[in-house]
A and B are shown apart, each in its own frame.
Chain A
Amino acid sequence: MNSPDDGKGRPSPARPSLFLERQGYRRRRLADAARLLPFLGAALLALPLLWPDESESESAEALSLSSAMFYIFACWGILILISVVFGIAARRMAARENAEPGAESWRR
């Protein structure tokens, strides 16, 4: 910082950027999220297997069916909501991609 080195601080305009621009980066992370979503769903839906069962344990109080229903439908609803958000984002990205044909294609 002390030495007035001009060449270091500025990015040279001729060289292509090492990193994606912000849009492309967002797109990729969004696709990552889309890939992870089913795993999140599977994890949420596998969780009930850990709950105390009426048949196997006498000590622990078995969970009531209404609570179980509440949990499962809540998980279901959350997954749907995330999916809605992702659907909207994907639509926007697709629209932008169509608008600028030169943009990095957002396929995978």
Chain B
Amino acid sequence: MATLNVLILVCLGYVVLLFGVAFAADRVAARGGGKWLRSPLIYTLSLSIYCTAWTFYGAVGNAARSGLEFVTIYLGPTLVMISWWWGLRKLVRIGRSQRVTSIADLISSRYGKSNTLAVCVTILAVLGGTPYIALQLQSITLSFSIFAEADPTGLYREGSSVFWVAAGLAVFAILFGTRNLDANERHHGVVTAIALESVVKLFALLAVGIFVVWGVAGGLGPMMDQIDASEIGQWHVDAGRWTTFIFLSAAAFVCLPRMFQVMVVENDDEGHLRTAAWAFPLYLLLMSLFVVPIAVVGLDLMPEGSNPDLFVLTVPLSLGNDWLAMLSFIGGFSSATSMVIVTAMALSTMVSNHLVMPIWLNTQEGTASVSGDVRTIVLMARRVSIAVIMALGYFYYSLSGGGAALASIGLVAFAGISQILPALVGGLFWRGATRTGALVGLSVGFFLWIYTLLLPGMEGGIIPASVIENGPFGWGWLRPQALFGIEGIDPMVHTVMWSLSLNTIAFCVASMLSFPSPLERLQGAQFVNVFDHSVSARGWTGSVAQSEDLMIMTQRILGTIPAQEFFQAEAERQNGRPGRLPEPTPQFLERLERELSGSVGAATAHAMIGQIVGGASVSVEDLLAVADESAQMLEYSSQLEAKSAELSRTARQLREANAKLTQVSKQKDAFLSQVSHELRTPMTSIRAFSEILRDAEGLSAEEQTRYAAIIHDESLRLTRLLDDLLDLSVLESGQVSLNMDDATLNEVLDRAVSSALAGSDRKIGVRRVRANERIPLYTDLDRLGQVFINLISNAQKYCDADEPVLTISAHDVGGQMVIDFIDNGSGIPTEAQSLVFEKFARVGSDKAGGAGLGLAICREIMQRLGGEVAYLPGHAGAAFRVSLPLAYRQAAQ
């Protein structure tokens, strides 16, 4: 006889075994080994946390009450699994590429990272999950009590055992669910342990089934006869319940947080779905194969009024097969524990990520928090959440008293969690689904679920009986179990039909009426077209390959030598083997990220490392952050560009100024050498002739006079030259003062002609049209006269015609007074025309003895007077044109 103490010992031993398995698996996974840990088999087995104690014990109970209806709970998931190709595959791909950590996270990231939605889903999940956990606690307690009844010696108190079971499960979940904070949220230890548990529960149920069919009924044939002869022996199924439950279980299979955790979050390789698509339905088939035989035999064997939910346990026990009963107990225990652990883990992730952390970060706003700091806070939050969730389950159990109300709580939880379905499916397949739509749909479904199912189902009358019968305020069409006056539907079917259909309608309508934010639209496109945006998920690549990838990337960013130094230092720090690449441990990755973020920005570094290590694609949020960083860099570089343009502009200006200075200095040098040359020629002859006068004896008076005349001429020339230079320098420096006066052109020309021709032996003939010359002037008459004298004497000097004639004509051209001086000589050669106004420029030989400054002075004077003097090409002789603006004349009047 298996006593209660033996049972407890077996239980504890089993738990220790699970601990060992989980611990070992974690160790193996941490070392990067253990390929079998990531095999499709482990994945398939981990999915079987779908089969909780409710299905382990409850399926038989359900079959004993209503025949084959129990099978609907398994058929729904089967349909989901065989449609993996367009359903789960997409979900898993999105989960991996978006680094989703829970169903709440998935919904929130699909709808533009809305935390409001995440909070809604989390609350829904906790509300639905708590009674479910209570149900598991109840099943464990019930199975304990069966053994306690059979063992009168044992001291057994129900309340304390529930407490200890809950505490033990919480410790297990905390130990293995929150050991580390992995970016991928994968827990190899827990997954392996629940895979083992699912083998145990399948084995236990099969063992009991085989025992019942072949040990009790005596083979398949007799068993079938016995089934047909039993009270449930005829096909009787309510069509509404049949279809509703198949649909409901299919929906819950996808939406339940614990299923999402093992199916999507813990998924290592998309290819595992291929195997799970048939292996998991097979598992479900095996689980349900012997349910009806056990129920029929139980109904036959057990006394009237015994709980059919516990037939799996009581049938072997009553037949004296204690070890089988023990095995069956362990099977039920496994179902309950694995479900509770994974649920607690999944819910704690959601609670900590979407409830605790946002609040904590808000309170911490402004204080700089380092990354390690947040890590410990997150882990702490998860641990506390697990404890709180388990406590909630415990309190729910103690408050509800573990009565019959718990029997249907599994389906109630299913109906609640299924309210996520429209938002989830819409989010995966419809780009037009919006955050508002999801929120509205979810709220409608959630409210209807509470109003039509949860509250009326609760004992103790939270809703008064009058409301259930007549509706609130006597409005009959709002009766919780007969909405819109449609009566006679099974309450479960009623709730599922109304809540999900109205949820879907609200979701669609609100989606169509609202307009999504840009982030939401991007995320929507990424989700719906995930197969276009993400590469097929890579299988597991060895850690060394990852290190190599990291090394290559780091080299590109930091440069070869710094990257190698960094990796070597890291390898040395890790294991003292500097020659090898370091393992990509979280600490190393964190340091590397920090190192890289110095070069490329934090978000970019994070995205790059995530790409290599996680195999996950970059999310939109990452991209936005990267874009922000690049925008900052662009702005900085454009600032630099502007500065550098300014610098080069300044440099160009400096260069130009320098060139000008050099040119001016050259001009000055040339001018000086010209001047000294010009001075030297007369000085030489003066010196020579004065020396002759001083030293030579016996010079005749005539000779003396001639030499003295030469000296006199030369000194005159010198004086003239010096005068000219002085004049030019005064004009050029702009210090000349003009004596403005009134006169007519006629007078000025008269004076200039007479003084230019005075004292000349061979006078040039001057031709003028005096009638045109009566133009009044207001200018510096002496200076203008100087220009005229210069031009006339030049003509006289240089005109080589036999009968030299100078024509002076004045006229009015376009508002300017123009005076042309044209002679009948051979003129100035074309190549010299541009040079005549330069200083010391002389045309031909210096027979005239001028210094070559005259025209330069003329040009300066005319510029001072506001006019100009220019050579007039196109005439036979030399032709100069002097122009003065008439404004000067008008100013005088």
A and B interact physically:
yes
Of B234, B242, B281, B292, most A-chain CB atoms within 10 Å: B234
Tell me the residues in window 227-269 of chain B with beta carbons closer than 8 Å to chain A beta carbons: 227-228, 230, 232-237, 239, 242-243, 246
Q: Which partner residue on chain B sits nearest A89 by CB separation?
A: B274
Interface bracket on A:
35 or more
Tell me the residues in window 17-71 of chain A with beta carbons closer than 8 Å to chain B beta carbons: 31, 34-35, 37-38, 41-42, 45-46, 48-49, 51-55, 62-69
Cα A72 to Cα B67 with chains together (Å): 13
Cα A51 to Cα B123 with chains together (Å): 42
Cα A51 to Cα B235 with chains together (Å): 8
Contact B289 A48 (CB under 8 A): no
Contact B236 A55 (CB under 8 A): yes
Q: Which partner residue on chain A sits nearest B270 by CB separation?
A: A94
Cα A35 to Cα B82 with chains together (Å): 9
Q: How far is the CB of B84 from chain A (nearest CB, A)?
A: 8
What residues of chain B lie closer than 8 Å to A82, measured between beta carbons?
A: 82
Contact A68 B285 (CB under 8 A): no
What residues of chain A lie closer than 8 Å to B224, measured between beta carbons?
A: 66
Contact A54 B83 (CB under 8 A): no
Contact B227 A66 (CB under 8 A): yes
Contact B282 A80 (CB under 8 A): yes
What residues of chain B lie closer than 8 Å to A68, measured between beta carbons?
A: 68, 235
Main DSSP-derived SS at the B contact region? helix
Contact B236 A66 (CB under 8 A): no
A91 beta carbon closer than 8 Å to chain B? yes
Of A51, A52, A90, most B-chain CB atoms within 10 Å: A90
A84 beta carbon closer than 8 Å to chain B? yes
**B460-495 toward A: CB 8 Å interface, digit per residue (1/0)?**
000000000000000000000000000000000000
Contact B235 A31 (CB under 8 A): no
Contact B235 A72 (CB under 8 A): no
What residues of chain A lie closer than 8 Å to B531, measured between beta carbons?
A: 107-108
Interface bracket on B:
35 or more
Contact A76 B281 (CB under 8 A): yes
What residues of chain B lie closer than 8 Å to A54, measured between beta carbons?
A: 234-236
Contact A37 B237 (CB under 8 A): no
Q: Which partner residue on chain B sits nearest A50 by CB separation?
A: B239
Of A49, A67, A87, A94, most B-chain CB atoms within 10 Å: A87
B517 beta carbon closer than 8 Å to chain A? no
Q: How far is the CB of B221 from chain A (nearest CB, A)?
A: 10
Contact A49 B82 (CB under 8 A): no
Q: How far is the CB of A93 from chain B (nearest CB, A)?
A: 10
Cα A62 to Cα B235 with chains together (Å): 6
Contact A64 B234 (CB under 8 A): yes
Contact B236 A62 (CB under 8 A): yes
**B267-309 toward A: CB 8 Å interface, digit per residue (1/0)?**
0000100110110011001000100100000000000000000
What residues of chain B lie closer than 8 Å to A37, measured between beta carbons?
A: 82-83
Contact B86 A35 (CB under 8 A): yes
Q: Which partner residue on chain A sits nearest B74 by CB separation?
A: A76
Q: Which partner residue on chain B sits nearest A66 by CB separation?
A: B224
A87: which of B236, B237, B277 is its contact (CB, 8 Å)?
B277
What residues of chain A lie closer than 8 Å to B80, measured between beta carbons?
A: 38
Contact B236 A41 (CB under 8 A): no
What residues of chain A lie closer than 8 Å to B83, measured between beta carbons?
A: 34-35, 37-38
Contact B278 A34 (CB under 8 A): no
B82: which of A64, A65, A79, A90 is its contact (CB, 8 Å)?
A79
B360 beta carbon closer than 8 Å to chain A? no
Contact B82 A38 (CB under 8 A): yes
Cα A62 to Cα B531 with chains together (Å): 49
With A34-B85, A62-B235, A65-B232 given, is the CB distance from A87 to B274 under 8 Å?
A: yes
Contact A87 B275 (CB under 8 A): yes
Contact A83 B235 (CB under 8 A): no
With A38-B83, A45-B75, A79-B78 given, is the CB distance from A63 to B281 under 8 Å?
A: no
**B403-426 toward A: CB 8 Å interface, digit per residue (1/0)?**
000000000000000000000000
Tell me the residues in window 627-644 of chain B with beta carbons closer than 8 Å to chain A beta carbons: none
Q: Which partner residue on chain B sits nearest A38 by CB separation?
A: B83
Q: Which partner residue on chain A sits nearest B530 by CB separation?
A: A107
Cα A62 to Cα B234 with chains together (Å): 6
Q: How far is the CB of B156 from chain A (nearest CB, A)?
A: 37
Contact A65 B281 (CB under 8 A): no
What residues of chain A lie closer than 8 Å to B592, measured between beta carbons?
A: none
Contact A72 B71 (CB under 8 A): yes
Q: How far is the CB of B281 from chain A (nearest CB, A)?
A: 5
Contact A76 B78 (CB under 8 A): yes
Contact B242 A49 (CB under 8 A): yes
Cα A64 to Cα B236 with chains together (Å): 9
Contact A65 B292 (CB under 8 A): yes
What residues of chain B lie closer than 8 Å to A42, measured between beta carbons?
A: 79
Contact A79 B271 (CB under 8 A): no
Q: Which partner residue on chain B sits nearest A82 by CB separation?
A: B82
B274: which of A49, A76, A91, A108 is its contact (CB, 8 Å)?
A91
Contact B85 A65 (CB under 8 A): no
What residues of chain A lie closer than 8 Å to B228, measured between beta carbons?
A: 64-66
Cα A107 to Cα B235 with chains together (Å): 43
Contact B277 A64 (CB under 8 A): no
What residues of chain B lie closer than 8 Å to A81, measured between beta carbons?
A: 278
With A35-B86, A65-B227 given, is the CB distance from A90 to B235 under 8 Å?
A: no
Q: How far is the CB of A48 from chain B (nearest CB, A)?
A: 7
What residues of chain B lie closer than 8 Å to A55, measured between beta carbons?
A: 236
Tell me the residues in window 72-108 of chain A with beta carbons closer than 8 Å to chain B beta carbons: 72-73, 76-77, 79-84, 86-87, 90-91, 94, 107-108
With A46-B243, A73-B285, A83-B82 given, is the CB distance from A64 to B278 under 8 Å?
A: no
Tell me the residues in window 660-701 of chain B with beta carbons closer than 8 Å to chain A beta carbons: none
Contact A53 B82 (CB under 8 A): no
Q: How far is the CB of A38 from chain B (nearest CB, A)?
A: 4
What residues of chain B lie closer than 8 Å to A34, measured between beta carbons?
A: 83, 85-86
What residues of chain A lie closer than 8 Å to B230, measured between beta carbons?
A: 65
What residues of chain B lie closer than 8 Å to A64, measured between beta carbons?
A: 227-228, 233-235
Q: Which partner residue on chain B sits nearest A83 by CB separation?
A: B278
Cα A37 to Cα B278 with chains together (Å): 12
A65: which of B67, B278, B536 is its contact (CB, 8 Å)?
B67
B79: which of A35, A38, A77, A94 is its contact (CB, 8 Å)?
A38
Q: Which 10 A-B pairs have the closest CB atoms?
A: A38-B83, A34-B85, A83-B278, A63-B235, A66-B224, A107-B531, A62-B234, A87-B274, A84-B278, A64-B228
Interchain Cβ contacts under 8 Å between A and B, 26 examples:
A31-B85, A34-B83, A34-B85, A37-B82, A38-B83, A46-B243, A49-B242, A53-B236, A54-B234, A62-B234, A63-B235, A64-B234, A65-B67, A65-B227, A65-B232, A66-B228, A69-B227, A72-B75, A73-B285, A80-B278, A81-B278, A83-B277, A86-B277, A91-B274, A107-B532, A107-B536
Apart from A37-B82, A65-B230, A66-B225, what are 9 other A-B pairs with CB-CB below 8 Å? A35-B85, A53-B235, A62-B236, A65-B232, A67-B235, A77-B285, A80-B285, A84-B278, A107-B532
